[in-house]
A and B are shown apart, each in its own frame.
Chain A
């Protein structure tokens, strides 16, 4: 029997007179992929924000992996095993690609806070190896020493995905992973997401592009 990893019950959120979420119920089984579909302004991102601790819902409960998520700060929720890819890439623009991936790996190894003011970051071999492995997997290896700000939008999104994957999350939230992408990039991302599915990571995807949600498997050349 597959257990439920995420359960949203009766979640409502109001912004002034606007009812963004009204009694939302959602159960996500371990290892499954859920897509939340709707036009702009439907409250998809608000729901995601409720999950990661950015917004606290007015009513309802959110349970993840047996514990409630409400009232926890974003970093605690991430430490619990939820990683999020944002609609516009949230990455460390002034740092290099490999540093960008090492930072989330450190979060997984060291926890939310650990002063390590003497040991050199590069000497943390295990973290570096993990980061480099992910970069290799996502075909970002050749760009590993590039400053992130100089990368293309598609590469930045791939990098953000790498930053989430290096944490081995239990639940991966993707907020419109193909927004603003060319058709070719979209296809690449769709293929990438399908391959990630092999890792058995539970995913919740927000999307208004039906092509992404229902696209048939595409064979890589």
Chain B
């Protein structure tokens, strides 16, 4: 039925006898892994899950082995993962994603106040509200592309921020921020007699503070990572990468690109809603500052720092950023003195003087320098650095052992 087109090339006969469908030649891996095997996906997921769940152990030596900071790693990891679905996959840079983070927090706290301290209800509501909000903002913003899209999202986010401080004060409680109180109705909790009025979010009886809070966030991070992985390998993910590559061709290829982009926008808004909800779960308080443009800029930084369009990059970027913000900023001269204790006194003073501007309040300086270095020397982020190192390592090994890894 399908007639074959003959090409004038000389090596035509080579391709003739074999139907492409039946020839099972080993297929190389696509750049983004659309062609990667599902086995390697699950291996990656398992390693990721293991790494996340053992963070308390292997991050302890650098002073990050306590639940509060690890919760932040996981939460902002989810936020950055979602942001990357839009920015990394489809290339649309949103400067207003913090609006969805804030919306998620407010939605979750309202559920704590009205229905129940159960985190599941709050998170579901946070995701739904952020998704609906993203649908609205995305629908309007996606009428434009490029810098205009970014400006529109920024405008919407700043508008939300200012509304939260002014007109929407009855919902957001303005500058004080939205908090849970003993007098809240909490209808479901009262109905089932479960309330103790302490106002600590729980997961069916398990209070989500400290370590349980971290593991709760960590499991959701692993789930979010898995979903992102599936999206990336799916047809939908391929379309997003194609839009990033050449939106013009997508149109002439018969795709309505806007619905795809809107879907990506809403999905990433829902991730942000989940992250915002989790912020409220680990600390039941929502303030408008979560919606400010600096917070939107932060997630852009995290994603670029880690590696735009990669799976792991945004999570690593989020962790690095939160580490600098939370731990590095608390270093003072005392800590530095102790760190350089092994040096002779003169050298120790010298090192402390040199390094002290970069720690403590100066952590932004370190972040800025790091960001500059990454953008200049590793445009693909930390993940590109990892890839380069492992590539060199593999090449060194590959020279001696005859490409044994080619088969899988």
Residues of A within 8 A of B (CB): 52, 73-75, 78-79, 83-84, 86, 90-96, 98-99, 102-104, 106-108, 110-122, 124, 129, 132-133, 135-139, 141, 144-145, 147, 163, 165, 167, 187-188, 191-192, 195-196, 198-199, 218, 220-221
Please tell me if the beta carbons of B236 and A139 are within 8 angstroms of each other in the complex.
no
Given A98-B35, A167-B253, 13 additional A-B pairs, CB 8 A: A84-B252, A90-B246, A92-B246, A108-B254, A110-B235, A120-B233, A133-B20, A137-B5, A139-B11, A188-B7, A191-B7, A198-B5, A220-B6
Task: Confirm or deny: B214 has a beta carbon within 8 angstroms of a beta carbon on chain A.
Answer: no
Check if B238 is an interface residue, CB within 8 A of chain A.
yes
Q: Residue on B with the closest CB to A124?
A: B235
Whether, in the assembled complex, B31 has its beta carbon less than 8 Å from a beta carbon of chain A, the answer is yes
Chain A neighbourhood of B149, CB < 8 A: none
Max chain A CB contacts within 10 Å: which of B7, B12, B231, B250? Answer: B7
B256 contacts partner chain A, Cβ-Cβ < 8 Å:
yes
Chain B residue contacts of A218, Cβ below 8 A = 8
Q: Which residues of A contact B267 (CB under 8 A)?
A: 117
Note all chain A residues with C-beta closer than 8 A to B3: 198-199
Task: For residue B119, give the distance in angstroms from its CB to the closest CB of chain A.
Answer: 25
Question: Taking the nearest CB of chain A, how far is it from the CB of B363, in angstroms?
Answer: 35
Q: Which of B219-249 contact A (CB under 8 A)?
A: 230-231, 233-239, 241-242, 244-246, 248-249
Q: Are A116 and B235 in contact (CB under 8 A)?
A: yes
Given A95-B30, A145-B30, A112:B235 Cβ within 8 A = no
Query: Is A116 in contact with B255, judged by CB distance below 8 angstroms?
Result: no
Also in contact, A195 and B5, with CB within 8 A (given A103-B238, A117-B230, A121-B238): yes
A95/B245 in contact, CB under 8 A = yes
Q: Is the CB of B7 within 8 A of A139?
A: yes
The 4 tightest CB contacts between A and B, nearest first, are A132-B20, A78-B254, A107-B254, A145-B28
Which residues in A have their C-beta under 8 angstroms from that of B10?
Answer: 221
List the B residue with the shortest CB-CB distance to A158: B7
What residues of chain B have their CB less than 8 Å away from a CB belonging to chain A? 2-12, 15, 18-21, 27-31, 34-35, 38, 230-231, 233-239, 241-242, 244-246, 248-257, 259-260, 263, 267
CB-CB under 8 A from B19, the residues of chain A are: 133, 136
Within 8 Å CB of A147, what residues of B?
31
A-B contacts at CB below 8 angstroms, number: 171
Residues from chain B with Cβ under 8 Å of A187 in the complex: 8
* Contact A133-B21, Cβ < 8 Å, known A117-B234, A145-B27: yes
The reply to whether B7 and A90 form a contact with Cβ atoms under 8 Å apart is no
Q: A80's closest neighbor in chain B, by CB?
A: B254
Contact A119:B235 (CB < 8 A) given known A141-B15, A147-B31, A221-B10: yes
Shortest C-beta distance, A84 to chain B (Å), equals 6
Report the Cα distance A68→B309, complex, angstroms: 40
Q: Which residues of A contact B241 (CB under 8 A)?
A: 92, 94-95
CB contact between B245 and one of A86, A94, A139, A221 (< 8 Å): that residue: A94
Interchain nearest-CB distance for B264 vs A (Å): 9
- Assembly CA distance A121 to B35 (angstroms): 8
**Which of A74, A108, A119, A121 has the most CB atoms of chain B within a 10 A radius of its CB?**
A121
Query: Bound state CA distance, A86 and B253, in angstroms?
Result: 12
Minimum CB–CB distance for B361 against chain A, Å: 41
Contact B246 A52 (CB under 8 A): no
Question: Judging by beta carbons under 8 Å apart, are A113 and B233 in contact?
Answer: no
Chain A residues positioned under 8 Å from B28 (CB to CB): 145
Give, as a whole number of angstroms, the nearest-CB distance from A119 to chain B: 6
Residues in B whose Cβ lies below 8 Å from that of A108: 254
| Chain A residues within an 8 Å CB radius of B256 | 73, 75, 112-113
Q: Name B246's contact: one of A93, A104, A121, A195 (CB within 8 Å).
A: A93
- Determine whether the beta carbon of B248 is less than 8 Å from that of A90: yes
With A188-B8, A199-B3, A199-B5 in contact, do A104 and B254 touch (Cβ < 8 Å)? yes
User: What residues of B have a CB within 8 angstroms of the CB of A73 in the complex?
Assistant: 251, 256
A106 and chain B: residue at smallest CB distance = B235
A57 to chain B, nearest CB (A): 18
Q: How far is the CA of A88 from the CA of B96 in the complex (A)?
A: 36
Q: Once bound together, how far apart are the Cα atoms of A195 and B12, in whole Å?
A: 14
A136 touches B233 (CB 8 A): no
Contact between chains at B230 and A132 (CB < 8 Å): no
State the Cβ distance, A40 to closest chain B Cβ, in Å: 22
On whether the beta carbons of A195 and B21 are closer than 8 Å, the reply is: no
Pairs across A and B, CB under 8 Å, 27 listed: A73-B251, A78-B253, A79-B254, A84-B252, A91-B246, A94-B31, A94-B245, A95-B30, A95-B242, A103-B239, A103-B250, A107-B254, A116-B234, A118-B234, A120-B38, A121-B235, A129-B20, A135-B20, A136-B18, A137-B5, A137-B7, A138-B7, A144-B27, A145-B28, A188-B7, A192-B7, A220-B8
Assembly CA distance A121 to B239 (angstroms): 10
Please give, as numbers and ranges, the residues of chain A lying within 8 Å of B250 by CB-CB distance. 75, 103
Q: Within the complex, which residue of B237, B245, B253 is in contact with A163, where a contact is CB–CB below 8 Å? A: B253
B5–A118 CB distance below 8 A = no
Closest to B248 in A: A90
Bound Cα distance from A107 to B245, whole angstroms: 16
Q: Determine the distance from Cα of A145 to Cα of B256 in the docked complex, in whole angstroms.
A: 26
For B3, B8, B34, B263, which residue has the most chain A Cβ atoms within 10 angstroms? B8
A94 CA / B34 CA spacing, docked (Å): 13
